[in-house]
Amino acid sequence: MWNEESIHTLVERQRRFFRSGATLDVDWRFRQLEKLKQAVLVHRADLERALAADLGRSPLEAYFCDIGSLLLEINETMRGLRRWARPETHLSGLHAFPSLVTKVYKMPYGVSLIISPYNFPILLSLGVLTASIAGGNTAVIKASSKSPHCTALLDEILSTCFTGEYVQVVDGGHDVADLCLAERFDKIFYTGSPRVGTHVLEAAARNLTPTALELGGETGNWSIVRADADLKDAARKIAFFKALNSGQICIDINQVAVAEEVAEDFVRELKAAFERQLGPDPLQNPEYPRLITRAAYEKCAATAERYRSRIIYGGAGDAERLRYAPTILYPIDRDEEIVQRELFNPLLPVVPYPDREIDALLDTIAGREHGLALYLFTRNVRWAKRVLQTQQYGGGCINEVCLHMMVRGVPFNGVGHSGMGAYHGEWGFREFTHPSAVLIGSTRLNLPLREHPYGGAGGKAKRFFIDLFER
């Protein structure tokens, strides 16, 4: 069991290790990433079993969402690390003459704290660890107590790869997380809810610790289906995404707004898509995941009961196995309570709106807390691009769902109540390093332009040259 003393001792051990300079060597970091990759490959079957035990994931879903995505992240980082870590060289400018060269060094922060969630317990712990390693930091991973099989396996895997003074998994509940937050870390990366994100940021502020937050969004992520959309294609992709991990995804569709002119047709296609993918009874499909805890199940079931009269598909649960079927709620008004909070379950409110009033709908969305994702389905790609360049959200797709977070070279991030900071690939390296500008001075040919005295004839000459150089 972790307590205040053991966590403090751990942080101090990692700080001493960091100050030894071992993590500064880029080739050394590369070798640690190789170790991590090989450990994931060796333990693939174990990871799949742990994800099944905690979340009811099928092996394919476990690999696609957590393990395979993690390997892509590690591979991208290994390919780019040496280039990203290379110091930049800049000309200092005439005003700095004769000191002509300035370097920008990408420096690690030091001891990092990674607080990972239960919904993607492998990707959202080891994926962030990949960025921390690339940046040259040590890491304490506070893994979720809600996914105990994955947390135990993470501890086992990482303890075979790394010493605790470099990387250490810490298990336990919120009390242990608070003990970690009471320590002085050099970088904090938290993934989870906005409510807890506020708590993390408050704790970080006590030590002015640089912090990245990846949050789900206070009022959830919207999908909009315009009247001109390919309804079958949209329904197919939305059904896939809502069933994935039983809706427990930070970038999942929280509610879908559908042009009322095509709403009935869309709902019919959505029902058919769920049935094609999961069969007539999703609760009997062994590939359909479960909700993480009894509390999560009961919250989902209670919400469904409040809207029982508007359930047009699904609405059934299996309390023993913590499964709740994908459930369509229709029609739902855009101002109802259910579409003003993140659901994090397989309930899907469908909000009809007049297609001619799309601007009013966008104003409603913009007036709420910024989502982590925004998904638009329309044949008018030009309109969609314009919207996605004017709304505030983390990331999104046009005529697609979720795949933007798997694209190499692009950031994954939120804004406001959906987060701050960014990672994946080079963006993760940047998140776990700070750029230090160092001017290399010269001891010869120094001109006294910046020095006193500033008056008299000499001052006029200095003023002339400074004005010339700093325009």
What would the mean pLDDT of 379-401 be, rounded to a whole number? 97
Asked if residue 375 has pLDDT above 80, the reply is yes
Phi, psi of 410 (to 5 degrees): -110, 155
The single residue of 250, 300, 397, 402 carrying the catalytic annotation is 250
Q: What is the mean pLDDT of the chain?
A: 96
Cα gap 421→101, rounded to integer Å: 30
Q: Which residue has the tokens 């949050």?
A: 215
Residues 227, 228, 232, 233, Cα dihedral to 10°? -120
pLDDT for 257-290, tens place per residue? 999 999 999 999 999 999 999 999 999 999 999 9
| Confidence at residue 290, expressed as pLDDT on a 0 to 100 scale | 97
Instruction: Let me know if 205 is exposed, middle or buried by CB neighbors in 10 A (0-12, 13-18, 19+).
Output: exposed
Summarize pLDDT for 203-257 with one digit per residue, the tens.
999 999 999 999 988 899 999 999 999 999 999 999 999 999 999 999 999 999 9
Specify the pLDDT at position 370. 96
pLDDT at 101 over 80: yes
Is 275 among the catalytic positions? no
> φ and ψ at 266, to 5 degrees?
-65, -45
* HSE (side-chain half, CA atoms, 13 Å) at 171: 15
Query: pLDDT-based confidence at 441, cuts 50/70/90?
Result: very high
User: What pLDDT does 217 receive?
Assistant: 83
CA–CA distance, 431 with 128 (Å, rounded to integer): 10
Q: Six-digit token pair at 364?
A: 């409603």
> In the chain, what is the straight-line distance between the N-terminal and C-terminal CA atoms, in Å?
62
Question: Which tokens belong to 274?
Answer: 């769920």
pLDDT in tens, 294-313: 999 999 999 999 999 999 99
Lowest mean pLDDT among 80-94, 168-182, 394-408, 447-461: 447-461
The pair of three-digit structure tokens given for residue 397, joined into one six-digit string: 């797709």
Amino acid of residue 239: A
Residue 167 contacts residue 60 (beta carbons within 8 Å): no
User: What integer pLDDT is reported at residue 421 of this predicted model?
Assistant: 95
Residues in the chain, total: 471
DSSP string, 347-369: EEEEEEE-GGGHHHHHHHHHTSP
250 a catalytic residue: yes
Neighbours of 29 (CB within 10 A): 24
Name the percent of the chain lying above pLDDT 70. Answer: 100
Confidence class for position 95, pLDDT limits 50, 70, 90: confident
Which tokens sit at 235?
């329904």
Confidence of residue 179 (pLDDT cuts 50, 70, 90): very high
Q: What is the CA radius of gyration of the chain?
A: 26
Cα separation, 323 vs 201, whole angstroms: 33
Give dist(CA 61, CA 66) in Å, integer.
8
> What class does CATH assign to 4-216+421-434?
alpha beta
Residue 449 pLDDT: 76
Calculate mean pLDDT across residues 162-190: 97
pLDDT above 90: residue 125: yes
Position 96 scores a pLDDT of: 81
Catalytic residue among 214, 218, 342, 431: 214
Q: What is the pLDDT of residue 348?
A: 98
* Residue 447 CB coordination number (10 Å): 10
Please count the other Cβ atoms lying within 10 Å of the Cβ belonging to residue 30: 17
pLDDT in tens, 313-326: 999 999 999 999 99
Say what the pLDDT of residue 190 is: 98
Common-topology check for domains 4-216+421-434 and 222-409: no
Structurally, at CATH architecture level, domain 222-409 sits in 3-Layer(aba) Sandwich (3.40)
pLDDT of residue 147: 97
Contacts for 447 with CB less than 8 Å, ≥ 6 apart: 97, 98, 465
Domain residue ranges in the chain: 4-216+421-434, 222-409, 441-469
Give the position of tokens 């492998």.
Answer: 122
